[in-house]
Structure 1
Amino acid sequence: MGLIALAGPSTALAQGFKWWQNERFQKELVLTPEQITRLEGIYQTSEPLLRAQKTALDRRDNRLSKVIADPKSDEPAVLLATDRLEAARGELSRTRTLMLFRMRRVLTDEQNVKFKELHEHDRRERERRPKGDPKPDDTSCPD
């Protein structure tokens, strides 16, 4: 389901890739101006919550690291910090999934099939590149 791919807890904000605004995706998916506007609206509506949830996730991750590093911490403290981190991760994932679901519904069945093909092609291309090599262009769809 990678309409906007958010690798792990990161967001499209960090990725900097709005595929519906990319000429290659617009052309190959034959996106209409209305679809582009609707996709952007879904993203803009979701973005503030995604950003806030990513900040909360980072904060919880930092807190867990501190609890683990503290020699005075006990198992209940580690478990509590872990539970809070995983709850934050779950909230971010749920928001992202709902955004992707809404975006999927903007596309036709044919466009969704083509999008999946484009995404898989780009994923295979990234896997073929050696680690650390810059991507050849700006048009690949992030994971």
Structure 2
Amino acid sequence: MGSEFPSTGGMLMRWRTVALVTLVVVAATAVVAAAEQGRRPHRWWQSTDVKALLELTDEQSAALDKIFRKALPQLRESMRRLNAEERTLSRLVGDMDVEEIDVTRQIDRVEATRSELSKTRILMVFRMHRVLTQRQRDGLDEWMERETDERGVARTRSGRC
């Protein structure tokens, strides 16, 4: 009889994949947040240290940059729309004369926009991962964990990487 629980190796692989995607999504969020604030986003694939650590080729770095540049306009637009929808929701919640159905509809708009932003980020990360080898993805995972540890959870959560 088969076990109803996944194997330890399978669970570990799933956990590592989820952790890596989460870390890269955090980094992608930081990129969009930096762009929104007028700062130049951190492009890890162009960093001399990270390129050396992961042994990225110039071709890989160029491919990663192309993926990023293609996604960035949509990420910025989605972030702009999300901020606008959240501001509208905040105004509605503060208005005691508003109907609950109006708040509910605005929540739906906020969450649909947030979902669109997340989808764009995750697809960008997926496309970037396809450029990297498994060893490079593992190295990126380790580097991002170190960066998070060095910069602290609060700083990462604030959208700055």
TM-score band w.r.t. shorter chain: 0.7 to 0.9
Does residue 32 in structure 1 map to residue 78 in structure 2? no
Distance 1:98 1:12, change over 3 A: farther
Tell me: CA distance 1:39–1:12, structure 2 relative to 1, closer, same or farther (3 Å).
farther
Alignment of 1:12-31 (within 5 A): 13-14=35-36, 16-31=41-56
In 2, Cα distance between equivalents of 1:56 and 1:88: 7
Question: Sequence identity, in percent?
Answer: 34
The residue aligned with 1:71 is 96
* Aligned counterpart in structure 2 of residue 44 of structure 1, from 54, 69, 81: 69
The structure with the largest helix share of the pair is 2
Say if 2:131 is the partner of 1:106. yes
Per the alignment, in what secondary structure is the counterpart of residue 93 of structure 1? helix
Q: What TM-score, normalized by structure 1, do the two folds share?
A: 0.83
Residues 10-19 or 108-117, more deviating: 10-19
Amino acid at match of 1:106: V
Residue ranges of structure 1 left out of the alignment (5+ in a row):
133-140
Aligned twin of 2:120: 95
Q: CA-atom RMSD, angstroms?
A: 2.2
2:83 is the alignment partner of 1:86: no
Paired residue for 1:135? none
Query: Contact between 1:50 and 1:96, CA under 8 Å: does it hold in 2?
Result: yes
Q: 1:3, CA displacement in angstroms?
A: 3.2
**Aligned structure 1 segments of 4 or more residues deviating by more than 6 angstroms:** none
The separation in 2 between residues aligned to 1:71 and 1:29, in whole angstroms, is 55
CA spacing shift, 1:24–1:117, aligned 2, 3 Å: same
Alpha-carbon distance between aligned partners in 2 of 1:101 and 1:12, rounded to the nearest angstrom: 21
Query: Do the aligned partners of residues 26 and 7 (structure 1) sit closer, same or farther apart at CA in structure 2, a change above 3 Å counting?
Result: same
* Aligned equivalent of 2:80, options 55, 65, 76: 55
**Alpha carbons of structure 1 residues 30 and 122: separation in structure 2 relative to 1, 3 Å:** same
Structure 2: gaps (5+ residues): 1-20
1-structure distance, mates of 2:110, 2:57: 40
Structure 2 length normalisation: TM-score? Answer: 0.74
Separation (CA, whole Å) in 2 of partners of 1:51 and 1:115: 24
